[in-house]
A and B are shown apart, each in its own frame.
Chain A
Amino acid sequence: MIKHLFTLIWNKRKHNVLFLSEILISFLVIFAVFSMFVFYYLNYVKPSGFEYERVWSISYNNPLKTKDKDTLATFYKQVRSTLTALPQIEELSFSSHNYPYSNSISTSGFSYKDKKLIGVNFFQTDEDYCKVLGINVIEGRWFKKEDGLMKNNYMIINASLKKAMFGNETAIGKYTGEDKDENRSLIIGVIDDVKTTGDYWPAGQSMYKMVDSGAYEWLGIMLLKVSKDADAAFESRLSKILAKAIPNSNIEIKHLTETRESKNSDTVIPVIICSIIAGFLIINVALGLFGVLWYNINQRRGEIGLRRAIGASGSSISSQLVAESMLLATLSLIVGFFFAIQFPLLSVFNVPPQVYLIALLMAIAFIYLLVIVCSLYPGRQAAAIHPAIALHEE
């Protein structure tokens, strides 16, 4: 029977072009949308790697004109102790501008022996960063205050970077760069991945270095872990205290919970828009398929009547029509598959192949489902065609 249906479909190929291309296009659109969903979903289910509740970011401009390290260090030491004296502030850390959910990124290369990675996130932080954000140290340790007094060649990396560079070996005690390199860093710790660009994006590979006192000249972010009773009143008091402690500086206090939401909606809103557009497209395609099938059945009343006369039952008529649409869909999907499979094969957009493969399977399942749903009712109608009447018509 399958072979018979193939013959029938093949002989009517011109007639079926519309159906085939509709399926092909919707498959590709669905594949794209599902790839996006799967990508975001797989990232979303991974832990964020830190705590954003009760973390506030303070951005400021360094008002001091001096480049003198000691002056800078003294000034910011004073700022720090003013703030940490407040009971509502539990922890405080200075950070480069690319703190979690900020819009800044900073990347650099990372090399070990003759292996080199590019595009590694580069964070400059201090000894309290880990405590403010509640980051989990997997191996080794976080920076200590004394590390800042050293030549400052310590480095901490995240789990992804460790895995990419060192695999199952330990990273602790390894020096980055080549042997002759003056600026080699010693890896002293490995931490959990921190999703700094929002819940829907991968953490990527990251390295952390401790700021030295010279960095105060350009640092512009403080991160605070505040206590539960840090309310709006406290925030406005804090803002006044800051204005006094760091005069002539544009101070802005933000809550990481809010920054996170706006960062996430940067991702979610386009996804929703895409989904709505794709949804309308699918509805259109579904109606189109439905129409094509319906039309075909009315075109084929004579054939249906004949098939009934020579031995087809009503149910075999409807299953034949559903099977025909499934076969047609399969033809389109084979073509679509060859396009879609290029994405995981070529690792397009640096997305992990498994994302594309999952999306591919989902899109195939979706198309079959769509075709079944759209052909069930016309199939039932075809089964209900009265053979005597259909045969009488022509």
Chain B
Amino acid sequence: MIRLQNIEKVYRTDTVETLAIDNITLDIAKGEFLSIMGPSGCGKSTLLNIIGLLDEPSKGSIRIDDQDTSRFSDQQMAKFRNQKLGFIFQSYHLINDLQVLDNVELPLLYRTSSAKERRQLATEALEKVGLSNRLKHFPNQLSGGQRQRVAIARAIVGRPQIILADEPTGNLDSAMGNEIMDILINLNKNDGTTIIMVTHDENMAHKTHRLVRLFDGSQVQ
């Protein structure tokens, strides 16, 4: 499903060069639930962004779904992200000026869909995360766990094959974190969604199929 080959990422600023990813090769199978762990600054987010086509590797190639993404134009990448990928972030990244339902509908606005269809898919997605009673709320009227569930609903509303989650439980207490984790596990089990999750929590990581540890940009396990 996803094949990273000799990925390297160097950040260059005027004075320093940071090697954030150092020659990582990784295969992720369809339907796999993979977790990535490692100390702060070891390049987890960078790796996830590269897989998510939000950032370009300095070296190496990525194939997703048997497509060489390095040749994609900006438009093609946008389309690819929209159709195949779902993102979940530690800090939710909800649009505070939009109601829950409108937030969840967002990805569908970037593809051809009718208003009715959008409404329906978004409502379904929110049902899946157990938030069907909060459709008209604004994000700042929700708890952290609820916000993250909205973000998950937004990530799954377009039925992506791959979900990329960067510390989805990082801002939540363990009870809330477990709830979110359960949703992700169900998604992986029931819908066969491939999930790649960055986490700091060993317990969470052990609930996944495979754990990849990074240290200083390299894979150590």
Q: Which positions 100-144 of chain B face chain A at CB distance < 8 Å?
A: 102, 105-107, 109-111, 115, 138
* Binary B-proximity of A10-45 (CB < 8 A = 1, otherwise 0): 011000000000000000000000000000000000
* Binary B-proximity of A381-394 (CB < 8 A = 1, otherwise 0): 00000111001101
A8 to B97, CA, bound (A): 6
How many chain A residues sit at the interface, stated as a range, is 20 to 34
A312 to B75, CA, bound (A): 8
Q: Tell me if A378 is interfacial: C-beta within 8 Å of chain B.
A: no
**Interchain CB contact (< 8 A) of A310 among B55, B82, B91, B98:** B82
Minimal Cβ-Cβ distance residue in A for B90? A394
Q: How far is the CB of A199 from chain B (nearest CB, A)?
A: 54
- For B, the interface residue count at a CB cutoff of 8 angstroms equals 34
Interchain CB contact under 8 A, B49 and A388: yes
**Interchain CB contact (< 8 A) of A388 among B55, B79, B99, B111:** B55
A303 to B99, CA, bound (A): 14
Chain A hits for B110, CB < 8 A = 307, 310-312, 316
Chain B hits for A314, CB < 8 A = 74
Interchain CB contact under 8 A, A306 and B93: yes
Q: Tell me if B147 is interfacial: C-beta within 8 Å of chain A.
A: no
Interchain CB contact under 8 A, B115 and A307: no
**Interchain CB contact (< 8 A) of B54 among A7, A316, A387:** A387
Chain A hits for B97, CB < 8 A = 8, 11-12
Q: Tell me if B33 is interfacial: C-beta within 8 Å of chain A.
A: no
A316 to B97, CA, bound (A): 20
A102 to B106, CA, bound (A): 69
Interchain CB contact under 8 A, A310 and B154: yes
Chain B hits for A392, CB < 8 A = 45
Q: How far is the CB of A325 from chain B (nearest CB, A)?
A: 16
A315 to B75, CA, bound (A): 8
Chain B hits for A391, CB < 8 A = 49, 54, 89, 93
Chain B hits for A316, CB < 8 A = 78, 110
Chain B hits for A228, CB < 8 A = none
Q: Tell me if B95 is interfacial: C-beta within 8 Å of chain A.
A: yes
Q: How far is the CB of B168 from chain A (nearest CB, A)?
A: 14
**Interchain CB contact (< 8 A) of A302 among B87, B93, B105, B109:** B93
Most chain A CB atoms below 10 A, which of B54, B79, B106, B154: B54
Q: How far is the CB of A389 from chain B (nearest CB, A)?
A: 9
Q: Tell me if B52 is interfacial: C-beta within 8 Å of chain A.
A: yes
Chain B hits for A4, CB < 8 A = 102, 105, 109
Minimal Cβ-Cβ distance residue in A for B115? A3
**Interchain CB contact (< 8 A) of B78 among A303, A306, A313:** A313
A311 and B81 in contact, given A8-B98, A388-B54 (Cβ under 8 angstroms):
yes
A11 and B54 in contact, given A311-B81, A394-B93 (Cβ under 8 angstroms):
no
**Interchain CB contact (< 8 A) of B98 among A7, A302, A388:** A7
Q: Tell me if A334 is interfacial: C-beta within 8 Å of chain B.
A: no
Chain B hits for A1, CB < 8 A = 109
A316 to B46, CA, bound (A): 25
Beyond the given pairs A305-B93, A313-B78, A388-B55, 14 more chain A to chain B contacts, judged by CB atoms under 8 angstroms and listed by A's residue number, are A7-B102, A8-B98, A11-B97, A11-B99, A306-B87, A306-B93, A307-B110, A308-B54, A311-B111, A312-B78, A313-B75, A313-B79, A315-B75, A394-B91
Chain B contact residues, CB within 8 Å of chain A = 45-46, 49, 52, 54-55, 74-75, 77-79, 81-83, 85, 87, 89, 91, 93, 95, 97-99, 102, 105-107, 109-111, 115, 138, 154, 158
Could you give 21 example pairs across A and B, Cβ below 8 Å?
A1-B109, A7-B98, A7-B102, A303-B95, A307-B106, A309-B81, A309-B85, A309-B87, A310-B81, A310-B82, A310-B107, A310-B154, A311-B78, A312-B78, A313-B74, A313-B75, A316-B110, A387-B54, A388-B54, A391-B49, A394-B93
